[in-house]
Amino acid sequence: MVGLVIVSHSSKIADGITDLTAQIAAAHKGIIAAGGMEDGEIGTDAVRISEAIKKANDGDGVVVLADLGSGIMSAETAIELLDGEDINVKLADAPIVEGAIAAAVTAVCGQNMEAVIAAAEQTRAVKKINS
């Protein structure tokens, strides 16, 4: 199953999104939070993200969703740190909450990595309020 890594500058946000997503897609066991710094401070850490990617990987690939620009940069660095590892990992350009849920549900349905990324990225166009 395609794994997911949730990257946020806040460990509480990453943990909360991971908890919510895991409840909605309960059969998915590869949703890993990578939020905050090792000391609990706000920020993102490429090494922590790369470790989360390894943990989320079961061989079908890993999709990373991040909250802000520097989270994306840290995720890109984390992917570079995995050079030489046999892990197919890609970033999804998606809202972190809605994208994570769509990605998790799609992964649980057995879809491949491209479908999981597409599901996450399609949430950019979802309107929450029709006015």
Which residues are part of the catalytic machinery? 9
DSSP one-letter string for 30-54: -EEEEES-TTS-SS--HHHHHHHHH
Residue of 17, 21, 19 whose CA lies nearest to 104? 21
CB 66 within 8 A of CB 75: yes
